[in-house]
Amino acid sequence: MARVTLKPGESQDSLLRRFRKKVTRERILSDVKKKRFFMKKSEERRRAYRKAVRKEQQRLRRERRQY
């Protein structure tokens, strides 16, 4: 759980900004979105494989552009 304490002389806006940064750094919202619906292990593996393939294709495209 992300916790942020109010520093002396700090405004509510800066406190809220620090809290939002902490939440995004800890990937809390993305975890909640992932766990919102049940996903079978086979589906997780399939998605991870597809993501790895896309990432590799992007890397290859970037390498080709450089030369």
In the chain, what are the domain boundaries?
A: 1-36, 39-67
Sequence-distant (≥ 6) Cβ neighbours of residue 40 within 8 angstroms:
none
- Residues of the chain below pLDDT 50: none
At 5-14, the pLDDT tens digits run: 999 999 999 9
- Phi, psi (deg, nearest 5) at residue 40: -65, 155
pTM of the model: 0.57
Report the pLDDT value the prediction gives residue 26, as an integer from 0 to 100: 94
